[in-house]
Amino acid sequence: MNRAISDDIIQEVRDRSNIVEVMTFFGLQLKKSGGDTWKARCPFHNEKTPSFTVNETRQRYKCFGCGKGGDVFRFVMEQQSVDFPNAIHLLADRCGIIIPEKNYSTPEERAAASTKRNKRDRLFELMESFTEYYSQWLWTNLDSPLGQYFQSRRIPREIAQKFRIGAVPDSWDNSLKFGLHKKFTEEEMLDAGILKVNEDTKKIYDRFRNRLLFAIWNEQGKVVGFSGRAVEPDQTPKYLNSPDTPIFHKGSILYALPLARQQIREKQFAILCEGQIDTISMHCAGFANTVATQGTAFGEEHARMFKRYTDKVLLAMDSDTAGQNAILKAIKILLPLELEVGVILWPGGKDPDELYKNEGADFIAAQVRSATDFFEFLWQKLKETYDLKLPFGRQKAAEDAIEYIRLIPAPVARELYIRKLAELVKVSESVILKLLARQSPPGGGYQAAGQNTPQVETVILKEELDDCPGELAHAEETLLEIALADEQLAAGLRQNIRPDMVSTTLVGQALNTVIDLAANGNWGSRIDILSDMEDEREQEDPRLSRLLVQELTIPREKLDKALTDTISVVRRHHKERRLQAIKEQISQQIDREERERLFKKYMDLHNSN
């Protein structure tokens, strides 16, 4: 498998991650359903009757309601809305496996990498210790100026604890003393951004002294940095963020993502705010699918993170000029990834936190429900910029709008926006198309210069099944079910079925794979190998997913007949395909002798058993 993590490590994590235990750890309530099968209500869609099935022996799951299925890695990816690297790191952390970052060619390189890993682990440990310390200090000092300011924000205690809000005492060396007490060095605290060196005096002091503190997590849910909010009028800057460190990179952080991704998946959209307080208020208002950038502008890496979790993003920046410009920039970054983009308009120039405090959760919900499509927002801005009563005003507005439309890779959506723009400008669609072609980069297409056009995934499964008759598809499913359940029968299938006799569908390929594994004494690895095969195809075949989780449904006394019948179907369809191929050769052949030779070949095959 083409992954940065070695197959040996992947296998070790898989072996040590019992799928039933992992699912229970992540909150799934499983009930025994006989043998090694467990049942639960599906975590991926709403249902009253449990249709989510887990096979503990095969370490696979399948929901017969929504169709989702896979192995323990796929479950964590789906349930936590993370990609494979993050899923395997979550599982590895859970079972105490250290994942090497790469392969090393020399002992020196390996030693250097080990030192780097140890340093990162120490920084994670340090950040966790300080997060806990700052949080405890806040709750035990609510009568302090920091505590009083925190209470003025009216953040419920359970939300504050969930977000791990803390405070740093008004002291130059309090953090230094705490860190040394915890056996961390000055160098480690400097590396983590907890301490800072005065450039003039060279003295070391607490970076976040006298600030309300927000913990910042990475995608795996580990604290990697802080954002400190000033509480005094003359305290600058208003927000002070951790510097980039070996474990903290602002451009790869979406604030509160570990808390939001489950709700993003359930609500099927994400909300992007500007800061921590607005994000927390949105969570208080019932929109726990809200995140924010962390001390940097919204960028392509943030957009790619969204794409892993959802197909829709609502932008909820502030109503001031800077916020509106940030929305326009974010739209240009999100559209090329084929994300649906909307905009939440906050009335009266207020921000989400102020509106939530003064108007309540229902008011926030109403604004979310009335979110406008990105194009409506864009056109309103263009109307404010250009005089649309003038021909050249409309020309410039159309040119600006085209800059966004040409970023959309989805052909249907792009055409509908073209139609909408033509109606607004009051010209024909052909005029807009000419303008679009004129502004497009050399070589055609509609992507902006410098943008990478997303590759549209090719859905192979449907085309393959169209070429695989239902009778053959059913026969291959039955044979795969038997081959997965019985090693001896699987090995014996090769005597009757050659690899070229089965279809090229994922089930057909899986059948050939299991037969080969059984013949070569590797049948025991069939589930892991087929799971990897399914992942690499990037297009889940629901038939394979179902077969991997279910036990043998054919009674043992009927297996011989099932094998005879299905093998006969496979061989007959293979023979029919060969006959059809020869007929096509005959129809295209001009030479009389060659036509006669092909005809004889056709008749010999036709009359054969």
Query: Among 313, 141, 118, which residue's Cα sits nearest to residue 212?
Result: 141
Mind listing the pLDDT tens digit for each residue in 499-543? Answer: 888 888 888 889 999 998 888 888 888 887 887 777 655 445 678
Mind listing the pLDDT tens digit for each residue in 308-336? Answer: 778 899 999 988 888 899 999 999 999 99
Structure tokens at 605: 């095959």
Domain-located, residue 54: yes
The confidence band for 447, taking pLDDT boundaries of 50, 70 and 90, is very low
* DSSP per position, 259-282: HHHHHHHHHT-EEEESSHHHHHHH
pLDDT of residue 459 exceeding 70:
no
Domain count, the chain: 4
The confidence band for 169, taking pLDDT boundaries of 50, 70 and 90, is very high
pLDDT score of 101? 55
Domain end: 323, 344, 377, which one?
377
Mean pLDDT over the full length of the chain: 85
pLDDT of residue 31 exceeding 70:
yes
**Span 465-480, mean pLDDT?**
77
Choose between 91 and 113: higher pLDDT: 91
CATH number at residue 260: 3.40.1360.10
- Would you say 368 and 356 are in contact if contact means Cβ atoms under 8 Å apart? no
Domain-located, residue 409: no
User: What is the domain range of residue 281?
Assistant: 254-377
pLDDT of residue 92 exceeding 90:
no
pLDDT score of 536? 58
The residue behind tokens 């994000």 is 279
CATH number at residue 162: 3.90.980.10
pLDDT score of 402? 95
Residues 298 and 240 in one domain: no
pLDDT score of 104? 55
**Span 108-115, mean pLDDT?**
62
Residues 280 and 157 in one domain: no
CATH number at residue 57: 3.90.580.10
**Span 464-475, mean pLDDT?**
68
Residues 266 and 234 in one domain: no
Domain-located, residue 349: yes
**Span 60-69, mean pLDDT?**
87
Domain-located, residue 69: yes
Domain-located, residue 84: yes
Task: Please tell me the distance from the alpha carbon of residue 561 to that of residue 489, in angstroms, as a whole number.
Answer: 13
Domain end: 219, 248, 277, which one?
248
pLDDT score of 115? 63
Cα angle: 287, vertex 293, 294; to 5 degrees = 120
**Span 347-376, mean pLDDT?**
94
The confidence band for 468, taking pLDDT boundaries of 50, 70 and 90, is low
Residues 493 and 573 in one domain: yes
DSSP tag of 313 = E
Residues 574 and 594 in one domain: yes
Residues 325 and 207 in one domain: no
The confidence band for 463, taking pLDDT boundaries of 50, 70 and 90, is very low
pLDDT score of 78? 85
Choose between 528 and 284: higher pLDDT: 284
Domain end: 248, 273, 297, which one?
248
E strands within 58-198? 60-63, 69-70, 166-168, 195-197
The residue behind tokens 């050659």 is 498
Task: Please tell me the distance from the alpha carbon of residue 440 to that of residue 454, in angstroms, as a whole number.
Answer: 16
Residues 214 and 287 in one domain: no
- pTM, rounded to two decimals: 0.63
Domain-located, residue 153: yes
Query: Among 312, 316, 298, which residue's Cα sits nearest to residue 353?
Result: 316
Domain-located, residue 429: no
Q: How many of the other CB atoms lie within 10 Å of CB of 229?
A: 22
CATH number at residue 542: 1.10.860
Domain-located, residue 436: no
Look at 169-173, 377-381, 416-420, 515-519 and tell me which has the smallest mean pLDDT: 515-519
Residues 159 and 43 in one domain: no
Mind listing the pLDDT tens digit for each residue in 551-597? Answer: 788 888 888 888 888 998 898 888 888 888 887 777 777 777 777 78
Residues 80 and 167 in one domain: no
Residues 241 and 270 in one domain: no
- As a residue count, the chain comes to 609
Cα angle: 287, vertex 284, 149; to 5 degrees = 140
Residues 465 and 517 in one domain: yes
Residues 474 and 592 in one domain: yes
